[in-house]
Structure 1
């Protein structure tokens, strides 16, 4: 019986302490896929790749409503006809405060940003991208309040 306890204690003593394990060499870890929203460990390579690149959501219709996966992305809007980009209300899509969505008008169709039941704050209350290749950023300031910053016109 005593030898069993001694063997168990010897096995436990060989394990790293839970409070502060000491790593040596260059430890590696599995990492979540880029832009994955999980509790998985993110390695320095994962973090570096994620902050250096921005995923794109290419849209080609004449109307598009932002969805939660657009957070942190570049939404490109490409059509020859006018395009309406809708920001949904908090009740429809709960973007976290401080969410950023970048937008670019790729085609000739002018992009107008809008959304019922919310406030869009911009310089001079402008809500349209200036023209082809114009870009802007949407930034959620508070519940149902967004800033539109960029190459915009009335």
Structure 2
């Protein structure tokens, strides 16, 4: 018996071992049942993004199937991803476009490719569903790219997060227009960097330089960029400040008192158009990497 065949009502899981745990079962059957549970749970982890509810799915048409006698529309909402498997059908994936209940629940799907065949089907639901967003509330995703390979219609999905600079409060769902603005053709969520054009001979980094910015060193003569101590400017740990030397003037990175900058070479850009990055790794400790002048 598979995991999908077990009941959510504890007392109904009373089939003969190892498929269940009936009253008065022999002690010798306990280990077999535990092993079966372990195998089924481990088997689920082989394919954790899809849930097979163990229902009987009947063919209706090449784009629809039904579940007889029960209302399952709540679990099959419009927009949810599904996977169908059959001998002739093969394995196909699609998105629900209709879900209605009369005597049966009839589900209509737009398939990515392929079609249903008139046969016994196994249908699984995608774990990520419309109206149940994944919210990265407690993960610092600054400077990261989040791949959203399962979202094919941004108007029917939600991206949730806090506004820039808002460290507290409930995450808010972006509008379809906002979400579409940051979803590129490759299916990833990213935030464009804001260029900070520095033309002076000296510059001290500020907090916003590590918030989706890139420093353009734009001077014909030498420039020195200083990393302030944590007491002056409290950059979060793992803040990253990217810099590129656009002008002819060589860029040197300097440390304020109490700050240590680790580097595999020197604290200077190698030549014009070199790019570097500063990463904060401790309270007053940074590491400089990139196209650096050799030591």
- Give the TM-score category using the shorter length: 0.7 to 0.9
The aligned counterpart of 2:156 is 26
* CA positional deviation for 1:73: 1.5
The aligned counterpart of 1:73 is 213
The change in CA–CA distance for 1:140 and 1:48 in structure 2 (over 3 A counts) is farther
The aligned counterpart of 1:118 is 259
Give the Cα separation in 1 of the matches to 2:288 and 2:218.
19
How many residue pairs get matched? 130
Contact 2:158 2:173 (C-alpha < 8 Å) held by counterparts: no
1:139 and 2:270 equivalent?
no
* CA positional deviation for 1:32: 6.9
Give the Cα separation in 2 of the matches to 1:75 and 1:32.
25
* CA positional deviation for 1:31: 8.2
Secondary structure of the equivalent of 1:69?
helix
Question: Rg: which structure is higher?
Answer: 2
Secondary structure of the equivalent of 1:103?
strand
Secondary structure of the equivalent of 1:61?
coil
Secondary structure of the equivalent of 2:156?
coil
Indicate the RMSD between aligned Cα atoms, in angstroms: 2.8
The aligned counterpart of 1:16 is none
- 1:5-154 alignment runs, 5 A limit: 23=131, 26=156, 36-38=164-166, 39=169, 41=172, 43=174, 44-45=179-180, 48=183, 51-71=190-210, 72-116=212-256, 117-124=258-265, 126-153=266-293, 154=295
TM-score (norm 2): 0.40
Give the Cα separation in 2 of the matches to 1:141 and 1:30.
28
Give the Cα separation in 2 of the matches to 1:145 and 1:28.
38
Contact 2:267 2:292 (C-alpha < 8 Å) held by counterparts: yes
Give the Cα separation in 1 of the matches to 2:237 and 2:193.
19
TM-score (norm 1): 0.73
Unaligned runs of 5+ in 1: 1-21
* CA positional deviation for 1:66: 0.3
More helix by share: 1
